[in-house]
């Protein structure tokens, strides 16, 4: 369906990924969706009278406006971020719902507070800062669809079969944010199903499977209840040495007789060697945890406002809208990434981050096999 760890798969290699899938309104970083969210497929929601069940007057407003077209329970079946709720209400208005600006604002506030998508972002700290949050309810609703239509080719755990690729290692899935990549692919690039059917998933269906696939991906991370480390020493050590000294560019910063001498004796678990190689800033023993703060490599960022001096500090968080850094005084400062604001990131592990986009599974195993010889 999607892609290998290093490059997108062609439709012919995609296999069958039957879905009634879909992205919530606003999944594409706040962009309004193309369709009104459909009724969750798992079960029919109970009929609503349009009357608020609580004392919050905002709920009464939400029920009154939303039930003009569909049961209120359809709206709240899946939790969303505030940005997604804003886009949902915008889409509702675009389809004919009528309310004053004050009423619409109160609906957004109510849904964002009462039915917010929040919780643990992901098990483990490797990867980008904007990793999606998984809604267990959405995963539960998507499970029957996955079992009926997708597991045959992609497996129950989405790790692939002889008929379909591994989706938890798909670059498309890894970079997806609430369906913004999955949805367009299914609608425009996915091959026809064996029945000849062309996929036309609704936005809500895409969102459901975006949550499910992210959940499956999280289950492969260390620390997850389902995680079981396998044997990673399956590569060719000689090929790994060739890659280390050549195409990988590893000798630009590292030396087998210098900083990496005896690495396999210091880090006695091959899985940890692999983690240090791929995610040196996060892996146990790989990011120099325990080192003195003054000597531990950190990601720095320099923000130059439209007016005023540049500010440099340790990066705390950065997304498309804001960047937060910690200055020399230890105090955090947040800047809005408005026009005229320059942001320069200095990441000591940038080469490792770039490597993830091009290294193949086989090359990973080869390099780990080579590093394991450095006793």
171 neighbors 217 (Cβ within 8 angstroms)? no
Q: Does the pLDDT of residue 149 top 60, yes or no?
A: yes
Helix/strand/coil (H/E/C) assignment for every residue in 175-215 = HCCCCCCHHHHHHHCCCCCCCCCCCCCCHHHHHHHHHHHHH
Angle at 249 between CA 129 and CA 285, to 5 degrees: 50
Q: Does the pLDDT of residue 37 top 70, yes or no?
A: no
Q: Does the pLDDT of residue 29 top 80, yes or no?
A: no
Other C-beta atoms within 10 Å of 52: how many? 17
196-243 tens-digit pLDDT: 777 788 888 888 889 999 989 888 876 666 677 778 899 999 999 999
**Quick one: pLDDT band at residue 39, thresholds 50, 70, 90?**
very low
Angular region, 202: left φ>0, alpha ψ -120 to 50, beta rest? beta
Angular region, 99: left φ>0, alpha ψ -120 to 50, beta rest? beta
**Quick one: pLDDT band at residue 120, thresholds 50, 70, 90?**
low
**Quick one: pLDDT band at residue 25, thresholds 50, 70, 90?**
very low
Report which listed range, 138-142, 231-235, 367-371, is most confident: 367-371
Strand pairing report for 311-318 and 322-326: antiparallel
Q: What residues contact residue 162 under an 8 Å CB cut-off, 6+ apart?
A: none
CA distance 182 to 4: 15
Q: What is the side-by-side order of every strand in the sheet holding 322-326?
A: 332-336, 322-326, 311-318, 300-304, 342-346
Q: Residues 99-125: what's their mean pLDDT?
A: 75
Quick one: pLDDT at residue 53? 54
Alpha-helical runs (H) found in the chain: 11-14, 57-66, 72-75, 82-94, 101-114, 136-145, 151-154, 171-175, 182-188, 203-218, 237-245, 263-266, 270-278, 350-355, 361-371
Tokens for 96?
């004919």
338-368 tens-digit pLDDT: 999 999 999 888 899 889 888 988 999 999 9
272-295 tens-digit pLDDT: 899 889 888 765 443 343 444 445
Between the two ends of the chain, the Cα-to-Cα distance in Å is 41
């Amino acid at each position: 369906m999607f892609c290998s760890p290093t490059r997108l798969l062609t439709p012919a290699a995609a296999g069958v990924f039957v879905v009634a899938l879909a992205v919530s309104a606003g999944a594409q970083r706040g962009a309004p969706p193309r369709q009104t969210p459909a009724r969750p497929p798992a079960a029919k929601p109970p009929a609503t009278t349009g009357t608020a069940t609580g004392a919050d007057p905002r709920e009464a407003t939400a029920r009154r406006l939303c039930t003009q077209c569909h049961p209120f329970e359809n709206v709240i079946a899946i939790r969303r971020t505030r940005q997604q709720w804003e886009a949902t209400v915008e889409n509702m208005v675009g389809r004919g719902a009528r309310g004053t600006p004050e009423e619409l604002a109160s609906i957004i506030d109510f849904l964002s507070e009462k039915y917010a998508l929040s919780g643990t972002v992901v098990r483990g700290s490797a990867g980008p800062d904007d990793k999606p949050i998984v809604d267990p309810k959405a995963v539960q609703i998507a499970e029957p669809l996955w079992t009926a239509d997708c597991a045959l080719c992609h497996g129950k755990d989405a790790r692939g079969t002889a008929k379909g690729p591994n989706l938890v290692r798909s670059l498309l899935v890894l970079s997806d944010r609430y369906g913004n990549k999955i949805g367009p692919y299914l609608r425009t690039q996915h091959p026809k199903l064996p029945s000849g059917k062309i996929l036309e998933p609704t936005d809500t269906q895409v969102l459901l499977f975006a949550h499910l696939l992210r959940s499956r991906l999280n289950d492969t991370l260390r620390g997850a209840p389902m995680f079981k480390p396998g044997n990673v020493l399956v590569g060719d050590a000689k090929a790994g040495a060739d890659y280390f000294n050549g195409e990988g560019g590893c000798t630009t910063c590292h030396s087998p007789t210098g900083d990496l001498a005896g690495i396999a004796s210091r880090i006695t678990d091959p899985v940890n060697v692999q983690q240090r190689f791929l995610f040196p800033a996060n892996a146990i023993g790989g990011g120099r945890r325990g080192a003195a703060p003054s000597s531990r490599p950190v990601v720095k960022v320099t923000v130059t406002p439209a007016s005023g001096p540049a500010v440099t500090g340790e990066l705390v968080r950065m997304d498309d809208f804001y960047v937060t850094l910690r200055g020399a005084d230890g105090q955090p400062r947040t800047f809005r990434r408005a026009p005229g604001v320059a942001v320069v990131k200095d990441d000591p592990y940038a080469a490792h981050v770039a490597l993830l986009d091009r290294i193949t599974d086989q090359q990973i195993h080869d390099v780990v096999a080579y590093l394991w010889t450095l006793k």
